Amino acid sequence: MAVQTTESALTGVLAEPAKPSIGTGTVDKVLHAVRTHLGMDVAFVSEFRDVDRVFRHVDALASTPIHPGDAAPLEVGYCQRVVDGRLPEFIPDTAEEPRALALPETQAIPIGSHLSVPIRLADGSVYGTFCCFSFFADRSLSQRDLQMMRAFADLLADQIDRDLEQARTHDDKKKRIVEALASDDPGIVYQPIYNLQTQQIVGAECLSRFRSEPPRSPDKWFAEASLVRLRTELELRAIAKGLESLSVLPAPLYLAVNASPETIADPGLKLLLAKVDASRVVLEITEHDDVEDYQGFLDHLAPLRALGVRVAIDDAGAGYASMRHILNVQPDLIKLDMSLTGNIDSDPKRRALASALIAFARETYATIVAEGVETPAELATLRSLGATRGQGYLLGRPTDISQLVRLCAAGS
């Protein structure tokens, strides 16, 4: 039942490197301002690639033969010739520049006057060119206009450098997540959840563990996966691997898995849940997962609940978002965050808030699960307040499935 990520799919994720936007709105404004100031017909920024150039940004007075995204061989046109010195940067009248007049583009477009300067990045490499041209000769153009073009080209280069660095950082993050998936990460451990009255295990939370580099906590892996739009794939992998153990866990014990709203909306989750006894699965939604459209979110939850899945709100008491989740989702379980249960025995404010949430759960027929129970005093206080379930190092540390099954057998 494990989710398999094919080699071709992984390759496809990295096949197209992130393209810098070079501050699209800003660049377009610069092009328009320079073109109108010079009274020319077309302005553009081109990017040089291995064998061609692509027009990334184009601003024109009216119709133009080039458009954003168009590409042409490097040896076609003016750009490469300006950069390597075969054409001057400043041509007020192409009819007086034999090298320009000899180019087919001069007559075909036509080009009557032309200004072009290289865009040089911080490492000295040429990104491309910043160009303006008119369909007619313009003898009013001056060296001062060329200097202005160079100044704006420097500003564009600074922006491009920043965006290229962001693109490299994005690609590095994506590469880490793809490599983690290819190495069969994450591994899964199971933290037992106890009935606080009978002291018997009633379920377990599936927790991800990563062996991939760099060493860091699971929440950082999932946060980075979210930044590069791979969180759903990573979560589905973790859920699938966690649920593989449901068949060896004694019924009616349940497994709780973490799922973001994006993953809950993904059809792949329903496919996974349809392969198991979904009545023994709890989907945990955390405080950190923002829900903009609760009705849409509930619509995605409905078919999962129809399979028998229960829903838990994780991290309750950690912030405002968890309270909104509780009111809108109507969860089956409410998990008290460890920031609330820690030192609850000695902090009257924590006790008051926990007591209110426990009373709310009782009124709405939800089950309270206290997280982060680490001391006998905390456990005693939670019991006295009416919490019926709990998990934490005092009760049981995360372990592998074989040890969890042995613990269940010992407690039965």
pLDDT score, position 315? 86
Span 239-296, pLDDT tens digits? 999 999 999 999 999 999 999 999 999 999 999 999 999 999 999 998 677 888 999 9
Going by C-alpha positions, the residue among 91, 85, 119 that lies closest to residue 105 is 91
Tell whether 359 is covered by a domain.
Answer: yes
pLDDT score, position 323? 82
C-alpha dihedral, 325 to 330 to 335 to 341, nearest 10°: 80
What Rg, from alpha-carbon coordinates, does the chain have? 31
Residue 19, both tokens = 């393209």
Span 168-183, pLDDT tens digits? 999 999 999 999 999 9
The mean-pLDDT minimum among 24-33, 199-208, 294-303 falls in 24-33
* Total tally of structural domains belonging to the chain: 2
Same-domain status, 95 and 135: yes
Task: Give the helix/strand (H/E) hosting 381.
Answer: helix 376-385
- Phi/psi-derived region of residue 314, left when phi > 0, alpha when psi is between -120 and 50, beta in every other case: beta
Is pLDDT of 19 > 60? Answer: no
| Beta-strand pair 187-195/71-73 | unpaired
Same-domain status, 162 and 279: no
d(CA 59, CA 48): 19
Which are the contacts of 378, defined by CB distance < 8 A and separation ≥ 6? 341, 342, 343, 344, 345, 392, 394
- Return the axis-axis angle of helices 320-329 and 294-306, rounded to nearest 10°: 60
Same-domain status, 285 and 400: yes
Tell whether 174 is covered by a domain.
Answer: no
Instruction: Give the CA distances from residue 96 to residues 198, 270, 330, in Å, rounded to whole numbers and listed in that order.
Output: 96, 70, 78
Same-domain status, 76 and 201: no
Beta bridge partners of 60: 42
d(CA 255, CA 275): 14
**Which range of residues forms the domain containing residue 19?**
15-168
Tell me, what CATH number does 20's domain have?
3.30.450.40
pLDDT score, position 14? 38
| pLDDT band, residue 18 (cuts 50/70/90) | very low
Instruction: Give the CA distances from residue 318 to residues 288, 324, 336, in Å, rounded to whole numbers and listed in that order.
Output: 9, 12, 8
Q: What is the mean pLDDT of residues 391-398?
A: 96
pLDDT score, position 2? 41
| pLDDT band, residue 317 (cuts 50/70/90) | confident
What is the overall mean pLDDT for the chain? Answer: 91
Span 201-230, pLDDT tens digits? 999 999 999 999 999 999 999 999 999 999
Tell whether 226 is covered by a domain.
Answer: yes
Residue spans of beta strands (DSSP E) within 61-107: 71-73, 90-91
Instruction: Give the CA distances from residue 285 to residues 28, 256, 337, in Å, rounded to whole numbers and listed in that order.
Output: 42, 10, 12
Domain C-terminal end among 142, 168, 194: 168
Which residue do the tokens 């039942």 mark? 1
| pLDDT band, residue 3 (cuts 50/70/90) | very low
Same-domain status, 215 and 142: no
Span 133-159, pLDDT tens digits? 999 999 999 999 999 999 999 999 998
Q: What is the mean pLDDT of residues 181-194?
A: 97
Name the residue type at position 275: K
User: Hey, how many other C-beta atoms are within 10 angstroms of the C-beta on 254?
Assistant: 20
Tell whether 381 is covered by a domain.
Answer: yes
Q: What is the mean pLDDT of residues 50-63?
A: 92
pLDDT score, position 322? 77
The mean-pLDDT minimum among 72-86, 145-159, 285-299, 350-364 falls in 285-299
Tell whether 51 is covered by a domain.
Answer: yes
pLDDT score, position 200? 95
Same-domain status, 273 and 139: no
Is pLDDT of 393 > 60? Answer: yes
Same-domain status, 352 and 291: yes
Is pLDDT of 15 > 60? Answer: no
Is pLDDT of 298 > 70? Answer: yes
Tell me, what CATH number does 254's domain have?
3.20.20.450
More confident residue, 342 or 19: 342
Is pLDDT of 193 > 70? Answer: yes
Same-domain status, 198 and 107: no
d(CA 138, CA 131): 15
Predicted structure pTM score? 0.78
Same-domain status, 93 and 189: no
- Phi/psi-derived region of residue 386, left when phi > 0, alpha when psi is between -120 and 50, beta in every other case: left
Tell whether 177 is covered by a domain.
Answer: no
| pLDDT band, residue 23 (cuts 50/70/90) | low
Which residue intervals of 84-210 are DSSP H helices? 98-101, 104-108, 143-182
| DSSP three-state, residue 165 | helix
Going by C-alpha positions, the residue among 127, 123, 122 that lies closest to residue 27 is 127
| pLDDT band, residue 24 (cuts 50/70/90) | low
Domain C-terminal end among 168, 202, 226: 168
Q: Is 237:263 a contact under the CB 8 Å cutoff?
A: no
Is pLDDT of 6 > 50? Answer: no
Same-domain status, 58 and 109: yes
Tell whether 2 is covered by a domain.
Answer: no
Same-domain status, 122 and 244: no
Same-domain status, 191 and 158: no
Is pLDDT of 184 > 50? Answer: yes
Tell whether 7 is covered by a domain.
Answer: no
Domain C-terminal end among 141, 168, 195: 168
| Beta-strand pair 90-91/254-258 | unpaired
Q: Is 270:314 a contact under the CB 8 Å cutoff?
A: no
